[in-house]
């Protein structure tokens, strides 16, 4: 059976396992990012208020996606460790626990959407476009399970090494959403509600494809059956110990952008923020391969750790770091050399040559922000793989918020270096934090080697 071959692949050569899991994930992430840009493009055609409403609601949508990714990371970590230990029964039990946990979170989100969505919109300062926000957001909250479930299910597929089933439906979802957006928004004249409905339908279709494999074809390695369920609070705890920090990290990334925007306004004014936004969007794209390799690392490190296989665990850390570093430096070099034409393509304010030029200048500075992130990211994802989610969160907080933002503030404002000091400080803090994180995971690696007697 293919699934058994998949299990063997993630328990074998770590390099092959990471390559197998990471590269399709990179493609699916890039496609979903492009989908978000196209979503904004079609909504912008309605009017500026609709686009503003999308901007207000999008962070809430990311929180829902982040919760699904967090539960998925927790399930992936625990299931992978059970696989490594050869305990298939507990792996199947963990699968059911993760689905139940996902349903509980979905119900909570639904209740929040029904009773508090109006208040949340007002709290976000979106009163002037409240009707647009409600038209888009209500269906998102009402059908939130179609966003949570595919993320969790894909993570379970990844934990058994089945990357085709983990990424195929997600790619299909992104493509279908691109097709449905203009049809529902303009052909059926649904406006911004059509954009939300398109997102729900596309996600539902991707999830139904996954359910077909699970309940109709029935050829997955893990069994999604209630008969496998034996309630154990320690399993819920183990999943949440990774899920909560992993979900929180999504919020941290948003906070970093907010803080940087504030420091840029203080040191250079609002116009600089527009240029920074274009450059920051590109820097975010450059980080996606590193994130995809990290997600693969959760599975491979978890299997190795659960099986007490230090050589594979050691190789996983080294290879994932070097692979991420090589791809990150390559993308950084391309962005640095071709900064001006790239920013011109991503500039949605046509004929604004000043904006293009300044965005390119910022991009050439910020490529160094990503340089050593692979060291810190590998550390964070390996900690998730072994079940130490809060250590992963601690490293992210240290790297992203404490060091990067502190250096940005000190160099930009305290030392009076202006906006260049903000950028330089963020780069220095990020790189120091990344190296500090790698030192931590390498010490853990050596401790694990001693534990297994090698």
**For residue range 176-221, what is the model confidence (pLDDT) as tens digits?**
999 999 999 999 999 999 999 999 999 999 999 999 999 999 888 8
Residue 347 pLDDT: 57
Q: Is the pLDDT of residue 258 over 80?
A: no
Residues whose CB falls within 8 Å of the CB of residue 315, separated by 6 or more in sequence, listed in order: 14, 15
Residue 24 pLDDT: 87
| Contact of 382 with 316, CB cutoff 8 Å | yes
Q: Is the pLDDT of residue 348 over 70?
A: no
Percent of residues, the chain, with pLDDT higher than 70: 97
Mean pLDDT of 412-433: 96
| Other Cβ atoms closer than 10 A to 274 | 16
Residues in the chain: 454
Mean pLDDT of 290-298: 91
Residue 206 pLDDT: 95
Burial (0-12, 13-18, 19+ Cβ within 10 Å), 142: middle
pLDDT band at 255 (very low <50, low <70, confident <90, very high): confident
Residue 134 pLDDT: 95
Mean pLDDT of 376-400: 92
Concatenated DSSP letters of 115-150: HHHHHHHHHTT-GGGHHHHHHHHHHHHHTTHHHHHH
**Cα–Cα distance measured from residue 291 to residue 327, given in angstroms and rounded to the nearest whole number:** 11
Q: At what angle do helices 389-396 and 418-451 cross, to 10 degrees?
A: 150
For residue 332, give the H/E element and its range: helix 310-337
Mean pLDDT of the chain: 89
**Cα–Cα distance measured from residue 286 to residue 152, given in angstroms and rounded to the nearest whole number:** 25
Q: Is the pLDDT of residue 350 over 50?
A: no
Residue 48 pLDDT: 76
**Cα–Cα distance measured from residue 201 to residue 249, given in angstroms and rounded to the nearest whole number:** 28
Residues whose CB falls within 8 Å of the CB of residue 291, separated by 6 or more in sequence, listed in order: 29, 377
Least confident of 133-147, 340-354, 361-375, 411-425: 340-354
| Other Cβ atoms closer than 10 A to 259 | 18
Percent of residues, the chain, with pLDDT higher than 90: 61
Q: Is the pLDDT of residue 394 over 50?
A: yes
pTM (two decimals) = 0.84
Residue 349 pLDDT: 44
**Main-chain dihedrals φ then ψ at residue 223, nearest 5 degrees:** -105, 125
Mean pLDDT of 249-275: 82
Instruction: Select the more confidently predicted residue: 359 or 347.
Output: 359
Tens of pLDDT, residue by residue over 79-112, are 999 999 989 999 999 999 999 999 999 999 999 9
Q: Is the pLDDT of residue 163 over 70?
A: yes
pLDDT band at 4 (very low <50, low <70, confident <90, very high): low
**How far apart, in Å, are the Cα atoms of 50 and each of 33, 127, 196, 258?**
20, 13, 12, 22
């Amino acid at each position: 059976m293919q699934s058994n071959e998949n299990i063997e692949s993630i328990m074998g050569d770590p390099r092959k396992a990471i390559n197998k899991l990471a590269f399709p994930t990179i493609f699916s992430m890039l496609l979903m990012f492009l989908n978000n840009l196209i979503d904004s493009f079609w909504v912008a055609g309605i009017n500026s208020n609709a686009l503003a409403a999308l901007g207000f609601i999008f962070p809430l949508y990311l929180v829902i996606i982040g919760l699904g990714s967090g539960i998925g990371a927790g399930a992936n970590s625990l299931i992978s460790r059970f696989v490594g230990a050869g305990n298939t029964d507990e792996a199947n039990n963990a699968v059911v626990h993760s689905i139940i946990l996902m349903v509980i979170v979905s119900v909570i989100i639904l209740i929040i959407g029904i009773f508090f969505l109006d208040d949340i919109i007002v709290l976000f300062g979106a009163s002037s476009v409240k009707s647009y926000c409600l038209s888009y957001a209500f269906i998102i909250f009402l059908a939130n399970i179609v966003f949570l479930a595919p993320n969790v299910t894909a993570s379970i597929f990844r934990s058994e090494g089945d990357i085709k089933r983990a990424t195929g439906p997600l790619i299909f979802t992104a493509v279908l959403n691109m097709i449905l957006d203009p049809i529902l928004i303009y052909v059926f004249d649904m406006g911004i509600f059509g954009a939300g409905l398109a997102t729900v339908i596309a996600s539902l279709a991707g999830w139904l494809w996954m359910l077909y494999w699970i309940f109709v074809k029935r050829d997955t390695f893990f069994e999604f059956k209630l008969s496998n369920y034996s309630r154990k609070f320690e399993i819920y705890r183990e999943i949440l110990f990774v899920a909560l920090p992993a979900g929180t990290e999504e919020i941290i990334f948003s906070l970093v952008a907010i803080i940087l925007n504030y420091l840029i306004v203080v040191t250079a004014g609002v116009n600089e923020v527009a240029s920074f936004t274009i450059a920051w969007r590109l820097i975010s794209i450059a980080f996606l391969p590193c994130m995809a390799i990290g997600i693969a690392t959760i599975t491979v490190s978890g299997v190795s750790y659960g099986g007490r296989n230090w050589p594979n665990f050691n190789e996983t850390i080294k290879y994932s770091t070097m692979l991420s570093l090589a791809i990150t430096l390559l993308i950084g070099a391309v962005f640095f050399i071709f900064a001006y034409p790239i920013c011109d393509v991503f500039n949605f304010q046509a004929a604004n040559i000043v904006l293009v030029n300044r965005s390119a200048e910022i991009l050439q500075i910020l490529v160094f922000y990503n340089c050593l992130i692979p060291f810190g990211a590998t550390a964070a994802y390996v900690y998730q793989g072994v079940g130490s989610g809060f250590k992963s969160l601690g490293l992210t907080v240290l790297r992203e918020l404490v060091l990067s933002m502190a250096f940005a503030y000190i160099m930009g404002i305290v030392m009076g270096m202006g906006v260049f000091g903000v950028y330089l400080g963020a780069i220095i803090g990020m790189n120091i934090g990344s190296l500090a994180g790698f030192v931590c995971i390498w010490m853990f690696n050596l401790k694990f080697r001693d534990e297994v007697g090698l």
